[in-house]
A and B are shown apart, each in its own frame.
Chain A
Amino acid sequence: MSNIDAMIAILKENNFMCLAVPGKIVSVDESNPDLRMAKVNFGGIEKDVCIQWIDDVQIGDYVLVHVGFALNKIDQKEAEKTLEILKKALPKISTKGKAFKT
């Protein structure tokens, strides 16, 4: 594969821009106070992530990561609340309506 073909293959696989992905903090390195870093696990893959804008980071916290930076911590309570709303919605819904694509 030529250099350019390899690059096109990389381009096809990568969705960099708006994507922010939740990952779990595995370890924290605060030795440089201007650039605090963490190792973050994304479903088995670990990456170095800058956590400079996040206060009070604990191992096990989930953060939303974009281009190598944590944008915010995921609020576990709010996440659970949203899921509860989704679950509660199930029984009271009528089955009328369009058939869904399978």
Chain B
Amino acid sequence: MKYIDEYRERTAVESLSKEIFSAAKKPWSIMEICGGQTHSILKYDLEDLLPKEISLIHGPGCPVCVTPIELIDKAINIASKEDTIFTSFGDMLRVPGSKEDLLSIKAKGASVRIVYSPLDALKTAEQNRDHNVVFFAVGFETTAPANAMSIIEAKRRGLKNFSVLCSNVLIPPAIEALLESGKSRIQALLAAGHVCTVMGYEEYIPIAEKFKIPIVVTGFEPADILQGIFCAVKQLEEGRYNVENQYKRAVRREGNPAAINLLNKVFERSDRKWRGIGLIPKSGYKIRDEYSEFDAEEVFQTEDSTAEESQICIAGLVLQGIKKPVDCTAFGKHCIPEHPLGAPMVSSEGACSAYFRYKRSFG
């Protein structure tokens, strides 16, 4: 497909690899933030194309993985109610709550449906006026405008049976929290290209300056990722720490202003708990009061609860880039995609699932 195949071409990928070999003089640790990038790195064995001195740290950029266990429990609680149709992206269905997951309550008879787009959830609400239709709005800034649009459209269409269980989180505050903690050895960052397609990259400039680290906005194809790594290594070797845009074909400095306006109209920034990481100030979106009739937490008046995580799962350390999936004693044994202990084994963006799919021999 155009704009994909060219960036997977072997010659381009190999030539970039050689450029990285000649640019890298010292050892460097670079974090790719987005789980989609982690999957590309594992799928195409990109680490084999890098000098040994360059290590890649996998970041927390998996919205499914960081959705708090308490919210999964809340989703299960709502989905179990009578006259309710619970809609969600497919990735969320196997994410373990404290006792069970959405798929297991579907097996017991709850109406849980997979949708491709928030607009499909709206359609479900229009076709089932006698049911409460709830959409589990999980995602980073990439997905948040689509989630916001479902609320705007529900209001415009006068839908009274539609609400959204909101778990939208924001990347820059999480990066700051990770860098602030000093727990992982991040020396440069590959920013998530699709998050920046929506938000632009101005927010990253003060972060690069504050922590003196290069940040390269990077795409998802093999040539994109290697070019992003090359830009980062070059900056590191030269002692620079700028925000650079590798993914220019999709990302403009200002992002997509119409999508950003929509986000600001529907959501306000709020503190959010990240599964495995903890509370990060102003790292999420909350539905504004004027749209509270579409906020599932208001509609269903669910109570907040606290829940215990699995004792052996090290998902939190994996999400912070402190441990790799293969460091976990449960990896590939007690924890597999069909029976996951932690969310990173479930999600198509989770680091554990990427290692399981592409590097199982290491387990």
Which residues of A approach B to under 8 Å, CB–CB? 4, 7-8, 10-12, 14-22, 24, 34-35, 42-43, 50, 52-55, 62, 64, 66-69, 71-72, 74-76, 78-79, 81-83, 85-87, 89-90, 93-98, 100-101
Contact = CB atoms under 8 A, between A and B. Distances in A.
Nearest to A95: B18
B90 A75 contact: no
Given A14-B90, A17-B91, A96-B21, A69 B16 contact: no
25 contacts: A7-B114, A14-B90, A14-B91, A15-B348, A16-B90, A16-B91, A17-B143, A21-B1, A22-B1, A22-B2, A35-B153, A52-B258, A53-B258, A62-B2, A66-B142, A69-B117, A71-B194, A72-B252, A78-B248, A78-B249, A82-B246, A87-B12, A89-B15, A89-B16, A93-B22
Q: Which 9 A-B pairs have the closest CB atoms?
A: A68-B117, A15-B348, A53-B258, A79-B249, A78-B248, A22-B3, A18-B36, A97-B21, A43-B1
A66 B22 contact: no
B116 A18 contact: no
- How many B residues touch the partner, as a band? 35 or more
Contacts of B153: 34-35
B45 A101 contact: yes
A72 B190 CA distance: 20
Given A53-B256, A69-B117, A75-B249, A16 B348 contact: yes
A71 B142 contact: yes
Interface string B127-154: 0000000000011101101100100010
Given A16-B90, A94-B22, A96-B21, A74 B106 contact: no
Interface in B221-280: 223, 227, 246, 248-252, 256, 258-259, 262
Contacts of A78: 248-249
A67 B118 contact: yes
A83 B2 CA distance: 12
Contact of B120 (A68, A72, A81): A68
Contacts of B1: 21-22, 42-43
Given A11-B94, A86-B15, A89-B15, A62 B3 contact: yes
A32 to B, nearest CB: 10
A11 B156 contact: no
B192 interface: yes
B11 A16 contact: no
B70 interface: no
Given A11-B93, A69-B145, A71-B259, 13 more contacts: A10-B90, A11-B114, A18-B36, A18-B62, A34-B156, A53-B259, A66-B143, A67-B89, A71-B197, A79-B3, A86-B12, A86-B15, A89-B16
Interface string B77-105: 00000000000011101100000000100
A100 B14 contact: yes
A14 B91 CA distance: 8
In this complex, which of A4, A17, A72, A86 has the most chain B Cβ atoms within 10 angstroms of its Cβ? A17
Contact of B116 (A67, A87, A89): A67
